[in-house]
Amino acid sequence: YALLTRHGLPVPATLVTSDPAIARAFCEAQPGGAVAKPLAGGAEVVWADQAFFADHAAGMARRPFIFQQYVKGRSMRAYLLGGRVVSMGELEYDRSRVDWREHVTSALPHTPEEALATQMSRAVRLLDMPYCGMDVELDAHTGDAYLLDFNPSALYASWGRMVETDMAGMLADYLLGVARGGGIWNT
C-alpha cells in the first residue's frame, strides 16, 4: 500500500501494526470506520471496533494486523493478465457483512472506465504481478475507486463460472504467449 500511495494510486488509508494503541488511534481517525485484516489470507475481514480490540489486544504483539479505512459502495472483483483487465464484475452479496468473500451470490460483468483500468494496470506493474485478482471498491459517497486487495494466486474457476467467462482459456492463452517469448506484460 505504501508503494501504491507513493505512486498516487487510490488505496484506502492503511496501517500495519502490532501495537494496539497505535491501531486504535488510527481506526478512530477514520471517518467511516476501519476494518482489520489478517496479514496472511484465510481469516475474515472484520470491523476494527471495541469488540475487536477487546478480543485481540493481548495477542496483537504476536500477530500484527492490517488496519484499513473502511470504504463502502459497489464491490468489484477483477482479474488482470499481463497488466490488462480481462474480466471484472460487480459483486452481489450479503451487505450486512464486512467481508464479502464467503457471501457472494452473483456477479454482474462490469467494464471499468479507462482511467480506472489504467490505475489497475499501473498497480499490478508496480507490484510485479502479471497475474492478479484485484478487489476494487467504488465509494458510494464520493464515487472514487479504491484498489483494495491484490491476490497473486486468485482462484479463477468459480469466477469464470459465475460471470460465464473462460478464465481457464484466457489464462492458458496468456501463459502460452509468454512461453513463446511474448513477454509477461500486455500493456
The secondary structure element, H or E, covering residue 173 is helix 167-179
Q: Is residue 100 over pLDDT 70?
A: no
Q: Is residue 43 over pLDDT 90?
A: no
Q: Give the Cα separation of 39 and 59 in Å (integer).
A: 14
Q: Between 77 and 99, where is the model more confident?
A: 77
Q: Is residue 120 over pLDDT 90?
A: yes
Average pLDDT over residues 129-152: 93
**How big, in percent rounded to 5, are the helix, strand and coil portions of the chain?**
30, 30, 40
3 closest CA partner among 161, 147, 113: 147
Across 43-52, 104-113, 129-138, the highest mean pLDDT is recorded for 129-138
CB atoms within 10 A of CB 177: 15
Burial readout 67-103 (b: 16 or more C-beta within 10 A, e: otherwise) = bbbbbebebbbbbbbbbbbbbbbebebeeeebebeee
Q: Between 96 and 129, where is the model more confident?
A: 129
